[in-house]
Amino acid sequence: MNKAVVELIGVDKDYGGHRALANISLTVADGEFLSLLGPSGCGKTTLLRLIGGFEDCTRGQLLLDGRIMDRVPPEKRAVNTVFQNYALFPHMTVFDNIAFGLRMAKKGTDDIRQAVHQALELVELAGMAHRKPAELSGGQQQRVAIARAIVNKPRVLLLDEPLSALDHRLRKQMQKELKQLQRTLGITFLLVTHDQDEAFAMSDRVVVMQQGRIEQIGTPMEIYEEPVNLYVARFVGDINVLDGVIREQTGSTTFIALVEGAVVRLRSNRALNLGQSIHVLLRPEDFRLELEQDIAQSRDLSAKFQQARLKGTVRRIFYHGATYDVEVSLESGTRVQVTEFFDDDSDNLYFKPGDSVALGWHEGWEVVLPHE
Ligand code: ATP
């Protein structure tokens, strides 16, 4: 990991009797793109405001570039913020909006002109310097807000839901552009979002939060593939939860008896005890689904199921364009969701409601969590 730029050590933030942040410890590396992900009210914005200097920590320490930030005001921190509503000055031109901070810092006119034009080029608004914010689209206003925040080359850029006002298409485009800009500038970006897709698409690491606490920190892949608890697993995508107990353990192999009836072999590094109740988590795309009649006709198909097969009936189909979801009710009554991809040579749905099916998955694709 690069040198630490932002360090929080055991930070609490109380508002009156309400604890908005509890025991937050987090290190953000130089040049890293880190997202704070969580539902409304979990403390994401509060965390950004502490780093930006708009709030004080109730307990614990915040360091920027190794320096303790107690009582250091926002303007003395090498940190800028892009707010959700952009907060542009409506009566000023794009140029003046971007130049504002540099003028306050008493920079020379030539330096200001050069820095503003460079920032405008980076956000691809070179021809718009003399417009007012009202003469720009939402996406363009967003770029001005970003240009203004990067013009004095901060060490850290804080972005509080910066894309939430944009429509879906523009949002996707801006995600790519922001990521590219961050790579070009090498500035550390800290993004607040409640959108898992956005966090995954842009970030080196994601911090998943709940009720003022950090639940998990990891790369997008770690968070998706190895969630540490059900909350994280559910927050970052659809998940099927099967229940079982530890039946047998031999060396690194564990056998689980699922409530659904099947016995499943696992390779789990977790310390699990015989008889312990556990959840087996599988993403909809982890399942392999077959028609019962196909399995009966072909032995080869059984090779696809290195795991026990679960039997069930197709209940509903949800078409999504590139994929479709098949809702299956298992013999035990549990409902699971399976994502199916279209075959190369067909755009027909292979399954229909009422079909008898079997489903399995490859050994090791499941996540095993002890009951909480
Ligand atoms: P959202 O996604 O809705 O912006 P968030 O995750 O950013 O939510 P915060 O704005 O950090 O959440 O709020 C965390 C908690 O602290 C909430 O319960 C909120 O009501 C409370 N809170 C935030 N600011 C204050 C304040 N100035 N005074 C009192 N309580 C506050």
pLDDT single digits (tens) 22-61: 999 999 999 999 999 999 999 999 999 999 999 999 999 9
pLDDT score of 139: 84
- Residues 217 and 350 both lie in one domain: no
Query: pLDDT value at position 297?
Result: 64
Q: Indicate whether 9 and 97 sit together in one domain.
A: yes
Alpha-carbon distance 302 to 295, whole Å? 7
217 plus 248 within the same structural domain: no
Domain final position from 186, 211, 234? 234
- Tally Cβ neighbours within 10 Å of residue 195: 15
For residue 6, the CA-to-ligand 1 centroid distance in Å is 21
Tell me which DSSP letter residue 259 carries. T
> Is the domain of 298 the same as that of 208?
no
Task: Looking at the structure, tell me whether residues 249 and 222 fall in a common domain.
Answer: no
How confident is the model at residue 58, as a pLDDT? 95
- Pair (23, 145) in one structural domain: yes
On whether both 165 and 254 belong to a single domain, the answer is no
Rounded Cα–Cα distance for residues 210 and 253 (Å)? 33
Which residues, given as ranges, of the chain have pLDDT below 70? Answer: 1, 267-270, 296-308, 344-347
pLDDT score, position 251: 76
Q: What is the CATH number of the domain that holds 144?
A: 3.40.50.300
Say how far apart CA 49 and CA 67 lie, in whole Å: 17
pTM of the shown model: 0.89
Bridge partners of residue 266, in order along the sequence: 254
- The rounded distance, in Å, linking the Cα atoms of 191 and 198 is 10
**pLDDT for position 339:** 95
pLDDT of 296: 66
Identity of the amino acid at 283? R
Instruction: Tell me which residue has tokens 């901070």.
Output: 101
The CATH number of the domain holding residue 259 is 2.40.50.140
**CA gap 152, 140 in Å, rounded:** 20
Q: Please say which residue of 234, 260, 290 terminates a domain.
A: 234
Q: Do residues 121 and 76 both lie within one domain? A: yes
Which pLDDT does position 167 carry in this prediction?
Answer: 82
**How far, in Å, from the CA of 20 to the mean position of ligand 1?**
7
Range of the domain at 40: 4-234
**181: helix, coil or strand?**
helix
Q: Are residues 318 and 182 in the same domain?
A: no
ipTM: 0.94
Pocket test for ligand 1, best of 44, 81, 159 (most atoms within 8 A of CB): 44
Both 283 and 139 in one domain: the answer is: no
- Which tokens belong to 21? 């942040």
CB of 38 closer than 6 angstroms to any ligand 1 atom: yes
Question: What pLDDT digit, counting tens, does each position of 130-139 carry?
Answer: 999 999 988 8
Cα 205 to averaged position of ligand 1 atoms, centre (Å): 23
DSSP conformational letter for 3: P
As for how many domains the chain has, the answer is 2
Say yes or no: 202 and 177 in one domain. Answer: yes
